[in-house]
Structure formats: C-alpha cells, structure tokens
Structure 1
Amino acid sequence: MLNIIKSKNPNVRLTFNFILGVFVSVVLMGVFFFTLEIDSLVSTLKTVNYWLIIPSVVSYMISVFFRALRWKYLLIHLKHIRMNILYVVVVIGYMANSLLPMRIGELVRSYYLSNESNVSKSSVLATILVERVLDAVTLLLFIGIGAIFVPMAGISSIVPFGINISSTMLAILFVSIFWGTFIILIIIAKNPLVSVDFVYKLTALLSLPFKNKIDSFIKTFFEGLISLRHFKNVVFLIALSVPVWGFEAGVFSIMAHAFHIDDVFDNWWQFMLLMVLTTSISNVGSSVPAAPGGIGLFELVARETIVWLPFGNITRSVAGGYVAMVHAVLIIPLIILGQIFLWTMNFKSIRGVFREEN
C-alpha cells in the first residue's frame, strides 16, 4: 500500500486515488441507504413530478453561466477570454470533478485554459482557488443570515459518523478555514513583492533546480490573485457569487416542488429558507475533496440538514429520495454536456490530461 502511495508513476497514483474515492463514495452511500426505509422511499419516488427536472437543469446551467462570468473577471487582469470558451472549460472541469476524486477537474480546467489562452497554469489555478474561497464565503454568509431566523444549536447533529463536535466549534472551524484563507489571499494580493520575497527565503535551502521551479510557480500563482487587490473588486466578485448559488438554490427549490415538499410548509418564506440553508450547508459540508462529485457525503449532509431543521417535519425517506435526485440533476447533465464538448473539440481524455499535468 505504501509503495502505491509513494509511487512516482502518475498512472498508479491516479488509479489509487480513483479507487480510494470510489471506496469512500460506496461506504457513504451504504450508510445513506442503510438509514432509509426503502419501502417508503419507493412510494415517494412514485409520486414525483419528473417533468420538473427540465427547469431544474435550466436553472443549474444558468448558475454555471454565472460561474463562467465570475471567472472571466478573475482572469481579466491576465487576459480577456471569451465567455463561450470559459463556459466550455467550466463544464469540462465540473464533469471531471464528478467522475474523479480529489477535485482533479480543477487541474483539467487550468490545463485546458492555459493551452487555449496561453495563460500560466499556476495563475489559472490561483483564480480557481479564489473561486472556491468565494463560494465558501458566500455560502457562509447565507448560513449566517439563515441563523438569524433558524436556531443553529443542533447543527452538529448533521455531521456524519456520529462525530461529537459542538455547534460553536463547527462554526468556528468552517469560518476560520474559509475566511482565514480569504484574508490571507487578499494580503498576498495587496503585497505581492513581500509575499514572493518571503517564499524565496523559505525555498533558499532547496536544491537549485527544485527551488527555481517552486519560485516560478509561486510567482505566477500570485499573479492570479491580482483581482483581490482592490476592495471594490472583492465586493463585486462576492456579488457575482450570489446568483451562482441563488440559481443552484433554484434547483433545490424546483425539485422540492417536484417531491411535493413545499406542501408541508406553512408559508413560502419557511420553504425558501429551508432551500437556501440546505443548499449552503450541504455544499460547505461536502466540500472535502475526496469522493468523485462528493457522492455520498453530499447526500448525507443534505438529508440530515432537511431532517434537522425545525420546520416542515420531513421524513428521512422523503428527504433521502429528494437529495439523491437533486444531486443527480447537479451531476449528470454536466457529465453529458462535458462529454459532448470533449467529443466536439477532439480534446484529450481526462486521464491523459492528468498524466501530462503530473
């Protein structure tokens, strides 16, 4: 096992990571289905309005459009890139994330965009990191606003495997990780020369060839953070993140209507609050880059969020069928569309991309 992990052969490591990711997904999905009443789940699926999958997919594609638009503004200081190219790259990257573990799709995005636009791969990776942090910051803002109206004392109960952690510690953990990273990136963007000089000092003891590679990567990586240098740019990027997640919350809302979940709420406000909180908590909670597409972890966190929230009285079987269907809507269309883009553009296979990137 250790020989596999330490192997310098990218094919071996890719295979190992893939098997590990699939194993994690299988275990988590096993826990997910083991805690459901299958008969009740089957009965629920018979009542679903499957026609509403169509507007759900449309809503998600609009969300992806805003992702591409936000990425355009993150890249604009490096190069002006057409929206149609960015949209294709985002779809292909998300397709790879859905099929492969450890968010390898981010490497695919940086590789492809670098080849298409002649922008440094490390600079592109920096913008993707900023994207991820912006997503987390926006979702935490949504959760913070929701916490005003919904008591969060029992939120720790949605943590899988019975891990004992208080609600306060859970909140501090996520806020520290994402807001801390965001602040560090802003500091680096505002002080690029000082940051580069600091890295150069850290790499001074390395062998010269390796030091030069690290220094070159870090320098171009920091160039990808320039968009965070000015406060108005940061505010604008966070504002662009709102429709990204607003339209994804639309997917949750439309599919909830398909499952008749909205019927159990007293008013529209409670229903939308549940949708926004479920979208936010499930995406933050399943952001660990392990299983392909977050399969298993997403279902568990999203289901327990719905069951845990203090209104609606939704059973685990209904919530389980619902979140599984939502995740399918978020994954399957992008896999199909990504494959179409790859076939149309005669692009390399994802496996080939990762091997060359290594």
Structure 2
Amino acid sequence: MQRKQDQLQGLSDRFHAGQMALQPEQRVLDDMESGMLVAASLPKRPAGWKTLLNLPSFRIVAGLVIGLGLLLLVARYVNVSIAVGIVRSHLTTPQGIIYALLSSLAFLAAFSIRGVRWKLFLNQVGKVSTLKAIQLFLVGVFLNFLLPIRGGEVAKSLMLKRISNIPVSQSLPTVAIDKALDLVPALFIMAIVPLFGINMDIKIWVVLGMVGLLLLCLIGFVGVAAWKRLAAIGLLQKITGVLPKRVGSKIEGFAINFVDALLAGASRPKVFIPAVLLTIVAVFFDGLFALLAFWTVGVPVSLELAIFGYTLFNMFYILPTPPGQVGSNEVFGLLVFSGLLRLDPHGVTAMFLFSHPWAALLQTIVGVGCLSTLGLTIASAMKMQSDNEKENNHA
C-alpha cells in the first residue's frame, strides 16, 4: 500500500512539474493575445501619404504648383508679353478705366442676385435677412476662390449655423438647390446656341452634340427619378459601374444630389419660378461682366457671344481649382473663347490677365468686409471648414 501511495505521489509531482514548465509558455501566449486585443482596440492611423494629402498646407502648395504649371502651358501657347502690352495700352485710358469700373459692378451684381435667390430657399428653414444672405453668399464665393477645393458652399451653412442658429442639415440642401440652378442655364444656353448666330466650326458642333446628349440624358433621368426614384438610382449605378469605383461614386453622388435638389425645388413652384427668373438675370450680368472685361482691353465682342462663352467657362468651376484659381482661369478661358469661339488668343489672354486679378481684388475686399460685418474673420471661417472636414474624415 505504501508503495502505491509513493507511486501516486510521484506521478502527482511530475504532473505539477509539467504544469510549472508550461506556465511561462502559457504566459507568453496570454501576453500575445492581450497585446493583439489592445492593438485592435486602438484607432488605426491613416497611411502616411493619406495624412499628407489631408493637410491643408499640402493641398495649397500642390494646388499652386499645378496652377503654375498651367500658366507655363499658357505661355507656350501665346506670347504673354504681347497680352500684357494690350492690357497696359488700354487700361491706362479713360475709356478702359470706365469699362473696368462698370465690369466690377456687373461682377458683384451677378453674385448678389444669386444671394437673393438663395434667400428664397432659406425662407423654408429659418429667418435670414436678404442682406445677410447676400453677405454669406459673397463670403462663400470668396472662400471658393481662396481654397484649393470648392469649400465655400459648406462654409456658408457652417457660418449660417453660427450666426443664425440654423442647423447645417437644414441649410445644406438649400445650397444644393441653389447650385443646381446654376448648371441648368449652362446646359440650356449651349443647347440653343445656334439661335445666337455664332459662326461655329466642327469643334463647337461636337461640343454642342455632347452637351445636347447630356441634356437629354439629364432630362430623362430627372423624369425617371420623379416617377420611380429607386429605379433611377439603380439605372445610374449600372451606368457608372463600368467606371473606376472612385470616379463612378463621385458621378453618382453628384447626379443624385443634383436631381434631388431640382425635384425638391420644383415641388415648391412659388419659390422655384422666381428662383429661375433670378438665375436668368444673374447669367445676364455674368455675360455683361465678360463683355465689359473684353471691352476694357479693346477686344470687340457681342453680348450674345459673351453670355454664351462665359456661361460655358463657368461650367468648369464644377472641377476643383488651384488656390486663387491660378492658371485655371487662363487655361479654361483660352479653351472656350479662343479654342471654341475663335477669338484672338492674345486678346483672350489679355482679358483674363485683367479680369482675374481684378475679380480677385473685388472678392477679397467684399469677402473680408462681409466677414467683418458678420463678426467673423478669415481664420475663423477657414477653421470652421477645417473642423467640418475632420468630422467627415472621422465619420
């Protein structure tokens, strides 16, 4: 009996010894498991290049580099010194100065009318004075000019929340409706441009054919969306599915927001019809600004051509532009007025060499003045925009 007890005791001792030998390995496994759990609970850091791309300073520098590249492209196409000479010879005359001053009035009137139009939609979500709506709109235009991305639209809603306590979720749809109305006349004007009597070559007919097809597709999509929205979205997803995912998602989002904005506006005809009329008046003043800017540098153009060309030129603002629109204005202006409408490239370049800095000066003076009147600064407005971008990135 004693011998069996000794054997059992020996087995027990060897078992406990084996357990003790396994404990360090088990502790290692436990430590590894806990470490993996801790690592999984920590927020993932974005990749280094993504962090760099999200820095506002990097975007500004990258945008300026792209803008300078566009200016070099312009310099290879036209003799910039000749264009500068045209500006200098006409802007120093009394007639040139008068045209320049009148162009500034037309420029500010076009955006102020759009501010009144935005007020029509804002009336549905809160009480905002007409003057304040115009000021916020002009600040948004200034920020769109200043920032490397079109951030002025969201900034309007953020500033409106701060000064009038209107939630962004309520005011942002009004911004979408307002911007949608700016695209409709551009498509319509290009569709009826043959009635303007403009001499058109094969390039313009190709562009008009593409725009006409786009207009028909857009009208069809709006009609289907008004009838069966889900079916329209499904059809759009099939069409954009052949594109790269990132590009297709952006086109899909733009089209859906555009159509939703139009349908929401059209559902209130008492607001939508006056808004359309104000859009027509704003487009007229856009063309008047372009007309007077051309006359300032001694380039004779008709009002019809100025309206058509500048409306087409404004469509390029759908795309992101460099800070201050450096280079992009000149390139897009040459594409439209020289490439399509066959105006002298030196005269077109002279017009934008005058109108670009002149419009920048006007936007800066008026934008900073409106910010001051609203009790804001450039820094605070840009900080609100930056904070909004951070919230979107975390979301």
TM-score (norm 2): 0.68
2:116 — aligned with what?
A: 69
1:204 matched to which residue of 2? Answer: none
Check 1:151–1:235 CA distance in 2 against 1; reply closer, same or farther (3 A cut).
farther
Quote the residue 2:67 is aligned against.
25
**Greater relative contact order (Cα 8 A, min sep 6): structure 1 or 2?**
1
Q: Are 1:278 and 2:309 an aligned pair?
A: yes
1:228 Cα offset (Å): 3.2
Q: CA deviation at 1:104?
A: 1.0
2:241 corresponding residue in structure 1: none
Return 107-116 or 348-357, whichever deviates more. 348-357
More helix by share: 2
Structure 1 residue 287 and structure 2 residue 318: aligned?
yes
Summarize deviations over 1:40-66 as a string: whole Å, max 9, x none. Answer: 213212222234221111111211221
How far the C-alpha of 1:145 sits from its partner, in A, is: 2.4
Using the alignment, how far apart are the partners of 2:63 and 2:84 within structure 1? Answer: 28
Match of 1:296 in 2: 327
Q: Which residue of 2 aligns with 1:249?
A: 287
**2:166 match: secondary structure:** coil
**TM-score normalized by structure 1?**
0.75
User: Which blocks of at least 5 consecutive residues in structure 2 are unaligned?
Assistant: 1-45, 91-95, 234-259, 390-395
Alignment partner, residue 167 of structure 1: 207
1:151–1:314 Cα change, 3 Å: closer
Task: Determine if contact 1:133/1:178 at 8 Å carries over to the other structure.
Answer: no
Aligned residue pairs total 310
Q: 1:125 to 1:177 in 2, by over 3 A?
A: farther
Alignment partner of 1:91 is 2:153: no
- Match among 114, 121, 124 for residue 171 of structure 2: 124
1:1-358 matched pairs, under 5 angstroms: 3-4=47-48, 6-7=50-51, 12-48=54-90, 49-148=96-195, 149-150=197-198, 152-155=200-203, 166-167=206-207, 170-171=210-211, 175=215, 183=222, 187=225, 226-231=264-269, 233-262=271-300, 271-308=302-339, 314-344=343-373, 345-347=375-377, 348-358=379-389
Residues 1:274 and 1:315: Cα distance change in structure 2 (over 3 Å): same
- Identical residues among aligned pairs (%): 17
**Partners of 2:191 and 2:212 within 8 A in 1:** no
Assess if the C-alpha contact under 8 Å between 2:86 and 2:350 holds in 1.
yes
Q: Is the 8 A contact 1:92 1:109 kept in 2?
A: yes
Query: Residues 98 and 335 of structure 1 are in contact (CA less than 8 Å); yes or no, is this contact kept in structure 2?
Result: no
Q: Is the 8 A contact 2:286 2:311 kept in 1?
A: no
Distance 1:168 1:319, change over 3 A: closer
Structure 1 counterpart of 2:198, which letter?
V
Structure 2 CA distance for aligned equivalents of residues 147 and 278 of structure 1: 13
Letter in 1 for 2:153: E
Q: Distance in 1 between matches of 2:208 and 2:114?
A: 31
